Structure 1
Amino acid sequence: MQEIIFIFYARVFYTFSTVFNKVMNIVFIFAGKRIPNIRKMSELRKLKITEMNRLTVEEFKEVDKLPLVVVLDEVRSLHNIGAVFRTSDAFLVNCIYLCGITATPPHSEMHKTALGAEYTVDWKYFKCTQDAVNELHNDGYTVLAIEQCAGSTLLDELVLEKGRKYAIVLGNEVKGVQQEVVDMCDGCIEIPQFGTKHSLNVSVTAGIMIWEFAHKLFKLR
């Protein structure tokens, strides 16, 4: 008896889900959209490295980079520094400015996350982050601190201008961007958050910011 009841409800659920899917497809078709079908597992295949058509180191050095510089203000974690290099390589960041206690290549711990990107992405070292910001301003960059500030611009509201060069400043894992550096910046960008924690990991923040700037700057090319 229990098996019969189970089979009955299973058929009812299957019929309902099938009808619901068809109805929603009709609704989306009238709205000019269609629910995408999920690919069957047999159609999915991981690409081999040789199929990804990545640039060689020599090609990377010659290709036009994005007008974007990433500034690391007193970042202490070699893991985070290496991850920023790797993300910067992926999205053609022009240069990374390493400031204060931020370590510089070569370093075995940094290499674990950079995976060689510390040799492809250009970088400079500054003892003082303020000197880095001064140089960027002199070179015509708009410098933006990635920090939670009064009057900051939310990332989803950020608008970039064609022909303008940008630099983003990422701060220390504990203290964030120094207030003295924030004071020198042209603005402050904040990533909206909805949970209980007050901040994101530096390398996570870098990944979000670099991707957001990259896809907007690529569209402006």
Structure 2
Amino acid sequence: MTYQSQHFQEGTSTEDFVTPVAGKDESRENRKHALHLRLQQLGIDADALADAAFRSVATTDGFDQRFGKSAIKAYRTYIDPRPSKMGVISRECVDVGANRIARQIDFLAKRHRSREADWVRHTGKFFGRNRFVLFRENSPIREHHIFHAHSLTIATSALDEPKDRKTFPLILVLDNVRSAANVGSIYRSADACGCLEILTTGITPHPHGNGAEKLSKSALGAERVVPTLHFDTTQQALEYLRRNRPNFMLVAMETTERSKCYTDIKYPGATFVSVHSGDTNSNSEYCVVSTGGVALFLGNEVSGVDTEIMPLLDEVVEIPMFGKKNSLNVASCAPVVMYEVLRQWGAFA
């Protein structure tokens, strides 16, 4: 059996880096066969992908746009891994590894096609990281905010908000929501619905505190777009709203004996006014005129909205439940009610 020496550092014995060529080729072919089989099952032309991977390193053609750079690199890395990765791959079951890489390639290729398609709009713009401001009791802008000596409030800077983001007089208050994944999902919904801001309280993960990294995984950048304030307690957030948003209706989303169906409430807030440019042939533009607003309170996954807070709010609403479980995930509830508010305001027109 012949051997092939690998690259090694000075002073290191070649015996530490010899690999049996026959064994290496056999292992490579096993990985390739298993991967191609799994790719074919997923509807991917494995031979075309292999050819694209070869041409990406052997020619100046670049990366085949049918698959994209990431998918091709994932294929190459699995079939011909670097020496530092060979040990991990060789210890893994070939079928398990092939299945994992095939699904990764499938996802990467689909993501590439989605990004390249001009008619697809779900891949939003990326905005840089927001600055944030710390406000304390002696803050020069204290007249606009309520703070207590023991509290520290963090806010995203509106300077970083994208200029073309449409907002409505709609605020979310997250009352000690525990899961960073839920909070991140709520941020995405809040951005999609044009929320003015999000107030987080207590243990709720927020973009500039505990759980920020986990939150960002489900928020996908929305946490850098929607302005945020954090309060030590929900009572502080309530006082902030009563002082700074006196015309807002404060609504708890909670299942109680006193709750009303969320569609039975008349939500005060935005109206859309037609603005004519003077050219009768041009389409009318619309501006949002705020006559109030809505702040929706969402509670902890287990205990819900604080029972001491609910009596202080204007309304308590619920989403009808028809199953055995008398609850719905908090991240799923938020957009249901937000879109009803926007519908009543005529946002869809």
Shorter-chain TM-score bucket reads: 0.7 to 0.9
Give the whole-Å Cα distance in 1 for the aligned partners of 2:309 and 2:117.
41
TM score, norm. by length of structure 1: 0.72
User: What pairs with 1:89-168 in structure 2 (closer than 5 Å)?
Assistant: 89-106=191-208, 107-138=212-243, 139-140=245-246, 141-162=248-269, 163-168=291-296
Query: How far apart are residue 64 of structure 1 and its match?
Result: 4.1
Give the whole-Å Cα distance in 1 for the aligned partners of 2:185 and 2:126.
20
What is the root-mean-square deviation in Å for CA atoms of aligned residues?
2.5
- Contact 1:94–1:122 at 8 Å: present in 2 too? yes
Per-residue CA deviations over 1:86-129 (Å, capped at 9, x if unaligned) read: 11111110000000000111522111110000000001000010
Consecutive unaligned residues in structure 2, runs of 5 or more: 1-113, 128-159, 270-290
Query: How far apart are residue 132 of structure 1 and its match?
Result: 0.5
Structure with the larger RCO, 1 or 2 (CA within 8 Å, 6+ apart): 1
Distance 1:159 1:109, change over 3 A: same
Question: Which amino acid is the alignment partner of residue 156 of structure 1?
Answer: T
Give the whole-Å Cα distance in 2 for the aligned partners of 1:205 and 1:49.
32
Question: Which amino acid is the alignment partner of residue 333 of structure 2?
Answer: T
Distance 1:186 1:48, change over 3 A: farther
Consecutive unaligned residues in structure 1, runs of 5 or more: 1-45
Give the whole-Å Cα distance in 2 for the aligned partners of 1:147 and 1:100.
18
TM score, norm. by length of structure 2: 0.47
User: What pairs with 1:75-90 in structure 2 (closer than 5 Å)?
Assistant: 75-90=177-192
Query: How far apart are residue 151 of structure 1 and its match?
Result: 2.4
Pick the structure with greater CA Rg: 2
Give the whole-Å Cα distance in 2 for the aligned partners of 1:217 and 1:55.
26
Q: How many residues were matched structurally?
A: 177
Question: Which amino acid is the alignment partner of residue 327 of structure 2?
Answer: S
- Contact 1:79–1:113 at 8 Å: present in 2 too? yes
Q: Which stretches of structure 1, 4 residues or longer, exceed 4 Å deviation after superposition?
A: 46-50, 53-59
